[in-house]
Amino acid sequence: MRTTNATRKSQGQNPINMDAIIRVSGLKKSFKDNAVLKGVDFDVKKGGIFALLGSNGAGKTTTINILATLTKADGGNAAINGFDCFRHKNEVKRSISLTGQYATVDGLLTGRENLILIGKLKHVKNPKGKADELLEKFNLLASRNKLASEYSGGMRRRLDIAMSLVGDPAVIFLDEPTTGLDPQNRIAMWELVREMADTGTTVFLTTQYLEEAEALANYIAILHEGKIAAQGTPAELKSLLPGGVIKLIFSDTKDVDTARSALTGYTAARVEKKSLSLLTDGSVDDLADILATIKVSGIKATKVEQEVPSLEDAFFSVIGYEKNGGNE
């Protein structure tokens, strides 16, 4: 896909969703002279997994903190479960739970004591029974009487999310829940997130792992330069690249650099040691143009492959970023 088309986006405007449990419109937030959110709009449907994606510093955590009533917005509107996030903060707090990027369990208490304490703070009728129920659900029953400070990173993360579910919130915010977890614990966390959504809890997820969003989310919004640049189901976002990706494989690493210099009219989806993957519109003309251009440059691809676009390809196309190249 030529550069002029590579940033083609599904517009940030989202049709009114009558089933939405979260509504955000024109949300703005600046920190001194840095405008982080410049008019963010999206809806989150009740009972599912919504993923907010964006580069580091895009404003994902700021958005969550505003919705969780922890940070004051400079403008716009937001509502959760029918309550205005700015005027009905207590009602919003009773409807949500927030798990940040790092576990916030009390290391001086056992796992069970952490859960019982939260249960009492939230006025749960049977906090001990609820604690045992969650310990079993999160595979922590055998370690219930062990100090949380002695838990592994994965166990602490599971306990942290279990604590978030005390009181049965309508919405749970998970801000990068698998950060720092090994692959085995990440997959286990994915299953827990799916189980939460299956029980009717709405999960609002931010993640730095695009494959995680693709595996979990029913609906995704991409936050870029202070606004929602694109949103839709994973399939809808990938359809922004209907032509797919053309992968050129070379025999010499120097040929990759030569090809990149010659094919500046195309956006690189991936740059590897001996291969270059380009976004195309899927036309024969594009393929012919690419092959003719590298031939004129005095190089030849040893192999040409067409790849199915991934969510990662769509994400980097939307934000106009060349992966492994680093230039916006």
Question: Which CATH number is 281's domain given?
Answer: 3.30.70
Q: Looking at the predicted structure, is the pLDDT value of residue 131 above 50?
A: yes
Query: Do 187 and 281 belong together in one domain?
Result: no
Q: Looking at the predicted structure, is the pLDDT value of residue 12 above 50?
A: no
Query: Do 225 and 261 belong together in one domain?
Result: no
Q: Which residue, 146, 110, 107, is CA-closest to 128?
A: 110
Q: Looking at the predicted structure, is the pLDDT value of residue 262 above 60?
A: yes
Q: What is the per-residue pLDDT for 15?
A: 44
Tokens of 210: 């695009």
Tokens of 239: 């359809």
Q: Looking at the predicted structure, is the pLDDT value of residue 102 above 70?
A: no
Q: What is the per-residue pLDDT for 284?
A: 85
Q: What is the CATH number of the domain that holds 99?
A: 3.40.50.300
CB 240 within 8 A of CB 220: no
Q: How many residues does the chain have?
A: 328
Q: Which of 238, 259, 284 is the last residue of a domain?
A: 238
Domain that includes residue 309, residue range: 245-318
Whole-number Å distance between alpha carbons of 186 and 188: 5
In one letter, which amino acid is 165? L
Query: Do 302 and 177 belong together in one domain?
Result: no
In one letter, which amino acid is 327? N
Burial of 235 (0-12, 13-18, 19+ CB in 10 A): exposed
The pTM (predicted TM-score) of the whole model is 0.76
Query: Do 200 and 249 belong together in one domain?
Result: no
* Strongest mean pLDDT among 21-25, 104-108, 159-163: 21-25
Whole-number Å distance between alpha carbons of 175 and 99: 6
- Examine residue 13 and state whether it is found in any structural domain, yes or no: yes
| pLDDT confidence bin for 69, thresholds 50/70/90 | very high
Mean pLDDT across the stretch 37-66?
94
Q: Which of 238, 257, 280 is the last residue of a domain?
A: 238
